[in-house]
Amino acid sequence: MARLSLLLGLLTGITSLFAVACISPAPADDDDDDTNQGISCATADEAWAECAAVTGSPTPAPFCSLLAAGQVGADSDWGCIASLLGQWDCATGLPSGLDEFGTCINLNPGDDDDSVGDDDDSSGGDDDDDIPTGPCTDDGYEPNNEIATASPLTPGSYSDMVSCPEDLDYYAVGVNSGEFIRASFTFLDEEGDIDVQIKDGNDGGLDYGSSSTDNEEVAVLADTSTTYYVYAKLFSDSGTAVGNPYSLTITTGTPQPEVCGDGIDNDVDQSTDCADDDCADDPSCLEDCSDGVDNDADFRTDCADSDCDNSPLCVEDCSDGIDNDADGRTDCADSGCDSSPLCVENCSDGIDNDADGRIDCLDSGCSADAACICPSDPYEENDSYQGPKPIASSASPYTGLNTCLDDEDWYSFSSNGTPTITLDFLDADGDIDCKLYDADSAQWTADPNDPNWTPNLTESLVSSTSTGDSEDCSVTSSTATNGNYLLRVYFYASQSTDPNGVGNSYTLNISY
């Protein structure tokens, strides 16, 4: 009432201002964001009556009646002032500058002030937010907004009920021990989504209906004689009118054996038809493995249902391009085809036969295949700097050598001149690189992750890492000449760039 007192103090001085404001012909906005929007009718009527009493003026008609008629805005203080001034007809709205005093409802608003200059739905000139506006006419069961004021009902059918925004509907129904109560609501969801419950005396939900389709149904089995409360709430409004009408049918009685195709939870165990365990052996609930219907209501259809595991219709055909057993894997990618001759990896045909994303020797299934074993050469084992094979220019060229992803070749030699070292190979079969080290000055540090793998060397004298058909690790005039050397030859590739999966062969040429 602090703001109200201030307004009353200014009442005489601002009478003419309000008189002009109330006949504004072109509202700036319909002020959906008025801070007093949504005030309850009880509060508004009480505040308005208090305002009238304080000023000694006759109590005007209840504020909410005028609000429902579209004659005043949802602001009780402004409603009071407007009534005292006798300015009831404000349907054309007030300028936004008077929002502080509240605004009158405009039956033809120009903009609902969602953003700037437009209501941001489609175009200016309407409020177009798909939420109906205007009064919601309550039904004859009001007030029934809480358990304490719930409308008593007996089993039967009821019509002309209305669910209004911010208005809860409670209905009290007595049920005997061992009986069920079923509440069936009928309405059009396009006119507003209604959610329903059956509640106990503590306002606790026992069964819920909250779909986004027409109609809802809830049911509970009573284990003692008691009163249950059927509850309805307008979850969201839409359509042409504010609120949504509905019909309600209340049924009580003794639970019956489940009928497996009537759409009713006959035994009131919260499971209907084929979703009920009682229907597990009913012929109408056995999964048909090819009709596209979840016959047994277990949320799995046809071959995706475990009931169809042994159906001939659901055995994976390993070459038809179809996921026959509906497990998300097709043909050879399906584990059901592991033993099929069609899905055994051929390790040298360039095809991913078993559909695992790996071809030929890159497939783990080919690891023991003769075509995929890294060929040995006469100088093995020379896989590390700790066991290099001695070579000499007098024996060059060295032919029939091989290096693979997991098989480096290390050589040692002593030179009294300038070493010339070249490797010849076909790069299309895999890239080979080389590095030359001074064995006398190199500092060796074992790889902490794999002592048998390549050591971490300080610096190589020469490194050749081209992508051609040869590499040159020769010593130039700017590098050392006489001395002891180590040559590292390695396969530079990943599994994705090793076309054969078995490395590559090369010829080593050395002279000094």
Question: Is residue 463 classed as helix, strand or coil in its secondary structure?
Answer: strand
* Cβ-contact 410, 416 below 8 angstroms: no
The DSSP code sequence of 121-189 is: SS-TTS--SS---S-----TT-S--SGGGPEE--SEEEEEEEE-TT--EEEEEEE-TT-EEEEEEE--G
- N-to-C CA span, the chain: 107
SS3 content of the chain, % helix, strand, coil (to 5): 20, 25, 55
Q: What is the DSSP letter of 273?
A: G
Helices (H), 270-367: none
Rounded Cα distance, 453 and 406, in Å: 9
How long a stretch of residues is the chain?
Answer: 512
Burial class (CB in 10 A: 0-12, 13-18, 19+), 174: middle
The structure tokens listed for 172 are 């009290």
Question: Is residue 454 classed as helix, strand or coil in its secondary structure?
Answer: coil
Predicted pLDDT of residue 359: 78
Q: In what order do the strands lie in the sheet containing 244-253?
A: 156-163, 244-253, 180-186, 216-221
Q: In what order do the strands lie in the sheet containing 398-403?
A: 398-403, 504-511, 420-424, 470-472
Predicted pLDDT of residue 145: 94
Long-range Cβ contact pairs of 122-127 (< 8 A, separation 24 or more): 127/30, 127/32
**47 CB neighbour count, 10 Å cutoff:** 20
Domain boundaries, the chain: 151-275, 389-511
Closest C-alpha among 114, 87, 88 to residue 29:
114
The structure tokens listed for 270 are 């919260």
* Cβ-contact 196, 185 below 8 angstroms: yes
Predicted pLDDT of residue 497: 52
* Cβ-contact 407, 489 below 8 angstroms: no
Predicted pLDDT of residue 449: 46
- HSE of 459 in the Cβ direction (CA atoms, 13 Å)? 3
| CATH 2.60.120.380 is held by the domain 151-275 | yes
* Cβ-contact 207, 197 below 8 angstroms: yes
Rounded Cα distance, 245 and 191, in Å: 8
Predicted pLDDT of residue 480: 59
Predicted pLDDT of residue 214: 94
Rounded Cα distance, 432 and 490, in Å: 6
* Cβ-contact 385, 438 below 8 angstroms: no
* Cβ-contact 433, 425 below 8 angstroms: no
Predicted pLDDT of residue 74: 43
For residue 469, what are the CA distances in angstroms to 90, 127, 393, 510? Answer: 92, 74, 22, 17
* Cβ-contact 372, 360 below 8 angstroms: yes
Topology agreement, domain 151-275 and domain 389-511:
yes
Question: Is residue 381 classed as helix, strand or coil in its secondary structure?
Answer: coil
Classify the C-alpha dihedral 231-236-241-247 as positive or negative.
negative
Rounded Cα distance, 109 and 405, in Å: 76
- Tell whether omega for the bond before 390 is within 30 degrees of 0, i.e. cis: no
The structure tokens listed for 134 are 């205007």
- pTM value? 0.38
Question: Is residue 326 classed as helix, strand or coil in its secondary structure?
Answer: coil
- pLDDT, averaged per 10 consecutive residues of the chain (512 residues), comes to 37 32 30 36 49 46 53 45 41 33 33 39 43 87 95 96 94 95 95 95 92 92 95 92 95 89 83 82 79 78 79 77 77 76 76 75 74 82 89 92 88 88 90 86 50 52 88 76 85 60 86 88
The DSSP code sequence of 277-319 is: GGGTT-GGGSPPTTSSS-TTSSS--GGGSGGGTT-GGGSPPTT
Question: Is residue 66 classed as helix, strand or coil in its secondary structure?
Answer: helix
Predicted pLDDT of residue 130: 64
Structure-token match 């609902």, residue found: 112
Q: What is the gyration radius of the CA atoms in the chain, in angstroms?
A: 43
Rounded Cα distance, 386 and 381, in Å: 11
Query: Domain 389-511: which topology?
Result: Jelly Rolls (2.60.120)
